[in-house]
Amino acid sequence: MHHFTYRDGRLHAEDVDVTTLADAVGTPFYCYSTATLERHYNLFAKAVGAPKSRVFFAMKANSNLAVLQTLARLGAGADTVSEGEIRKAMAAGIPADAIVFSGVGKADQELAHAVDVGLHQVNIETEGELHALSRIAAAKGRRQDAVFRINPDIGAGGHAKITTGSDANKFGISLSEAERLYTVAANLPGIRMMGLAVHIGSQIRVLDELQAAFTRLRALTERLGGQGHRVERLDLGGGLGIPYEMEEAVDHGPDLIHAYAEMVTRTFAGLDVELAFEPGRLIVGNAGILVTRALTLNPRAAKTILVVDAAMNDLIRPAMYDAFHDIWPVVAPAQGAGTQLYDVVGPICESGDTFATGRTLPEAQPGDLVALMTAGAYGAVMSSTYNSRLLVPEVMVRGAEWAVVRPRPSFEDLIGLDRVPAWLAPRS
């Protein structure tokens, strides 16, 4: 469910007219709904039994400080994958003991920072990383809580590029090595091994592969316990998918969450462990839209190319993953208005800068506003300044209130990031 609806023929974000936002901040821009964030987090947290089970928001999906603070006030921790994300989570008020550090390649300085601030947990993905963390923590006279991320050789996800649990993927320690490395870790200084983690992919909407991976994780937990090892935590990662067809979003999201929670309960029944979850897209995906304005039309024989002012640098998912996003007019068409077949594209000089191909939409004119729906996850956080385009602003609404939570930089800001070497300085 989301809180983007039409009122009197105009799209609203909660109680705020999206046209008002477009007039105030310019297009394109992202808009996030507080009510949607709160609803999705509370629904998931209740289903999995928080606070007994811990929920760490996967901030790689959206790292805006306002989003993080909104979730932190509801009790969320943060799942991070870089020192920058750790620092941003803490800047949002999430304490270090509510932060998990994941990721397949952690530099020594990042591990040192994790130890210095006292993170809840480091998810170790390689034997080399295990020894590096032990060395760094021991040199500081500390012991860092850690778990092993296990690769169960079961991959899942909505696209090959977001599947992470197969043996062919770069992530995690193989099952065949897990018991040996757990014994190694138990005898290292600087490490306090607390358990295991698994994450097999993203945008998962059928639970069979997740259940198979969790079953292997349980079996490994029992084997390690039988060898006398402490396994107190199981981090089950994230990956639950969301509907990108917005009519479906109203009906089926809660069903998947409840089915997932029931599957987890069955799979781990009787184990005396703390469960942790790392949802990202599930919480923030349907809470955001990207609003853009039509620039021009380019008719073809079979369809019309609709050029908008947003581009692949603002929302790269369609270009990178062939991802689908619903496209809604901000002003609803009049009853009986015509439709047309469109390719919806951006102004970047690449054919890949395309949001939709062969999409039947209400007839559009230059100047019309449209919203790319379900853009709250992996949207602004993956944006760039490709083609020397400015990063777009982000807006958050709460009821009838709204605020710019990341302003649009200026061209002076963009150009000022570069430095010219001395040999190119103007000659006097």
Alpha carbon distance 141, 128 (integer Å): 20
Alpha helix positions (H), 81-126? 83-91, 108-117
Alpha carbon distance 22, 84 (integer Å): 31
Catalytic residue (choose from 334, 349, 417, 424): 349
Whether 349 is a known active-site residue: answer yes
Question: Is residue 368 exposed (0-12), middle (13-18) or buried (19+ Cβ within 10 Å)?
Answer: middle
Vertex 339: Cα angle to 336 and 342 (nearest 5):
165
CA quadruple 345, 350, 353, 354: dihedral, nearest 10: 50
Alpha carbon distance 174, 136 (integer Å): 24
Looking up tokens 């008020």 gives 93
Look at residues 201, 215, 196 and name the one whose alpha carbon lies nearest to residue 275: 196
Assigned token pair, 68: 């993080």
The residue type of 129 is: E
Active site residues: 349
